[in-house]
Amino acid sequence: METFIKLKQFYWPYRKYFFLSLFFLVFVTSITVVYPIVLQITIDEVVLQDRYSLIPYIAIAFFILMLIKGIATYFHQFLGDLFGITAVYKVRDALYEKLQVLSFRYYDNAKTGDIMSRLTADVEGFRFFLSAGFSELIRITLLILFSLGVMFYFSIPLALVTMAAMPFLIVVVYKFDQRVHPAFRKIRKSFGRLNTRVQENVSGMNTVKSLSREDFEIGRFSASNDNYRQNYINTSNIWSRYFPLMEFIGNFCAVVLLAFGGFLVINNSLGLGELVAFFSLVWYILGPLMNLGFVVNQFSQAKASGERLLEILDAKEDIIEKQDAIDALIQGHVTFNNVSLTYTQNDDSALKDINFDAPPGKVIGLIGATGSGKTSITQLITRFYEPEEGEVLVDGRPVSDYKLKALRMGIGFVLQEPFLFSTTIRENIAYGNPEMSDEQIIDAAKRAQAHDFIMEMPKGYDTLLGERGMGLSGGQKQRIAIARAICINPSILVLDDATSAVDMETEFKIQKALKEVMRSRTTFIIAHRISSIKHADEILVLEEGKVVERGTHDQLLKNTGPYQRIYNIQYQDREEIMSTMTN
């Protein structure tokens, strides 16, 4: 029960629904045990005594009992579902909230499909046991206890024989739980991998089709699907072995009771009606005991699901906000003092001993090969990661001194691969500042050179975008992302290869528009093209996490270093090619 105890905070506040459900369950179970007694009275007092005048009274009493049981069953089931649904509502909220605060380190290793599986299938598995599993376990217990009480009233010897079979069934159920729980955990994991495979395939469908890898993807999905199938077959195999054994023990006990009970009736030690009632009560015990396998099945699934939910809820939060963190507007003065960063242990450093100072209004260009550490620098400013060594300062304070929301609202990001939501263009632009007026949204779009193509869309700013901005070109998506960054009026602006997907003419227009926007703001421009950063106040050239050159565009061109090599590749070689084509 350790898993359920750890998750107690989510369902215990709603225990009133659970206990009310149990209150009505007692009525349902009590009336169920009355059925054999009515049967015994009908046989011994009516049929054998020829007192058929009692039948109408018995029928009316039986009808009233059925009516009470029906009403009690309704409230029992409704309140049980209300308990499970309400508790799981809180679990989902807690999981989603946790996912929002987990750092990038968690998502570096997490898989989207697996997370989706936990928030859907695992949450639902846990809910089902809260709604029905717990109460079913208590129903079985009550039914056995009530039935045994009536059995001992009818015949102590027969009741003792019935109890002799119970330990065998309990042992079998215990062994079943030991085998089936690990099997269900494997099923949950394989289902998460299957979800991940589907999610990655659908998200990367353009790549799959462009490289004609449909057959390869079908094979990978088939392998994951086969693993899921095999895990389910293994679980079914466990169930198929244990359930017949439980059924055999129950049936064997019933045969023994029938033989022994018949002997008692022949010797007038037990009435015929009592034997019939007793035999019905036997199945009220043996049936639930065998059904205990189904409950254990549900319990094992819920426990496996609960463990996977706890893996998210208990995940370590790498970025912790201080209790005395300040909620201040930042001015944009960024300083790196001997900063080093490693994403994973025993891996090469992403950044090594980085030092620079960027006062408000300064434009810093970051250039270098893929993986050289350009993006890592900007991710440390926003505390997406914590440095292993050194400190990152904003306005002279360590970034850890700020409230995360205050820090990040002062930083506008335009990522290399902008993400747009499945909503209107207007809402995408105003996502960081929903209170913006239409005039402000349009002004931001104009600055980002996005207004003209937006107005050509079917409904202008109210055009509904497809998933991840489907229907827009890469350049159009990036311009909307730039407009979104402008809307929050940041003190620090980060352009992470923001113009990589636009043509030279559009890039020129965007840079011209951004020139006014970047004034008085600290701006970091990450680029592969020198044309994007050559006007920067200072350019940092990175290689393998180190700053190997720094200076202005003109200063760096005078050196025979990496920057000059990049320039030669992008400009001089192009001029030679154009000259050759002209000749």
Helix (H, G, I), strand (E, B) or coil at 458: coil
Q: Give pLDDT, residue 212.
A: 65
Euclidean distance between CA atoms 577 and 300, whole angstroms: 68
* Alpha carbons 73 and 26: distance in angstroms, whole number: 10
| Residue 53: per-residue pLDDT | 78
Of the candidates 10, 106, 95, 97, the one whose C-alpha atom is nearest the C-alpha of residue 317 is 106
CA triplet 147, 297, 236: central angle to 5 degrees?
Answer: 125
At 566, the amino acid letter reads I
What is the chain's pLDDT, residue by residue, as a tens digit (583 residues)? 788 888 888 888 888 998 999 899 888 888 888 888 888 788 877 777 777 777 888 888 888 888 988 899 899 889 988 888 888 888 888 888 888 888 777 877 777 777 887 888 788 888 878 887 788 888 888 888 888 888 888 778 877 877 777 777 777 777 776 777 677 778 877 877 777 777 667 666 656 665 567 787 788 788 888 888 888 888 888 777 777 777 777 777 777 777 877 877 787 777 787 778 777 787 777 777 767 766 777 787 788 888 888 888 888 888 888 888 898 888 889 999 999 988 876 677 889 999 999 998 899 999 988 888 888 898 899 888 888 899 999 999 999 999 988 888 888 888 777 788 888 889 888 888 888 888 889 988 888 888 888 898 888 889 888 766 667 877 788 888 888 888 888 889 888 876 665 666 766 766 666 676 677 789 999 888 787 888 889 999 998 889 999 999 988 888 888 888 888 887 765 544 444 444 4
- Both tokens assigned to 353: 């001993």
pLDDT value, residue 540: 92
Q: Yes or no: is domain 2-313 CATH 3.20.20.70?
A: no
Which phi and psi (to 5°) does residue 165 adopt?
-85, -20
User: What order do you get walking across the sheet with 334-341 strand by strand?
Assistant: 351-358, 334-341, 389-394, 397-398
Homologous superfamily assigned to 321-410+494-501+522-583: P-loop containing nucleotide triphosphate hydrolases (3.40.50.300)
Determine the pLDDT at residue 507: 67
To which residue do tokens 């659908």 refer?
A: 202
List of residues 6+ apart from 415 with CB closer than 8 A = 481, 496, 498
Q: What is the C-alpha separation between 184 and 447, in angstroms, rounded?
A: 55
Q: Domains of the chain: which residue ranges?
A: 2-313, 321-410+494-501+522-583
Query: Is the Cβ–Cβ distance between 432 and 444 less than 8 Å?
Result: no
- According to DSSP, the residues that pair with 358 across neighbouring strands are 334
* CA dihedral over 147, 150, 154, 156, signed as positive or negative: positive
User: How would you classify the pairing of strands 492-496 and 522-527?
Assistant: parallel
Find the length of the chain.
583
Residues whose CB falls within 8 Å of the CB of residue 28, separated by 6 or more in sequence, listed in order: 69, 72, 73, 76, 139
